[in-house]
Amino acid sequence: MEFFLDTANLDEIRKAQAQGLMDGVTTNPTLLSREGGDWRRQAQTICNEVDGPVSLEVVGTTAEEMVREAEDLATFGDNVVIKVPITSEGLIATKALYKKGVKTNVTLVFSPLQALLAAKAGATYVSPFVGRLDGISIDGMELISQIRTIFDNYEFPAKILVASIRNPLHVLDSALIGADVATIPFSVISDLAKHPLTDKGLEQFNADWEKLTK
Ligand code: E4P
Which CATH number do you get for residue 182? 3.20.20.70
pLDDT beyond 90 at 14: yes
Nearest CA residue ID for atom 5, ligand 1: 164
Which of 28, 58, 138 gets mutated to test ligand 1 (max ligand atoms within 8 A of its CB)? 28
83 flagged as catalytic: yes
Atom of ligand 1 nearest to the CA of 166: 11
ipTM above 0.85, yes or no: yes
Ligand 1 contacts CB of residue 127 (under 6 A): yes
Ligand 1 contacts CB of residue 57 (under 6 A): no
**Model confidence band, residue 214 (pLDDT cutoffs 50, 70, 90):** confident
pTM above 0.90, yes or no: yes
Nearest CA residue ID for atom 4, ligand 1: 28
Query: Nearest to residue 65, comparing CAs of 53, 77, 82?
Result: 82
Q: Which pLDDT does position 93 carry in this prediction? A: 98
Q: Which pLDDT does position 21 carry in this prediction? A: 87
Task: Provide the residue range defining the domain that includes 204.
Answer: 2-213
Ligand 1 contacts CB of residue 77 (under 6 A): no
Q: How far is the CA of 7 from the centre of ligand 1 (A)?
A: 9
**Model confidence band, residue 100 (pLDDT cutoffs 50, 70, 90):** very high
Nearest CA residue ID for atom 1, ligand 1: 163
Ligand 1 contacts CB of residue 6 (under 6 A): yes
Ligand 1 contacts CB of residue 131 (under 6 A): yes
Count of structural domains within the chain: 1
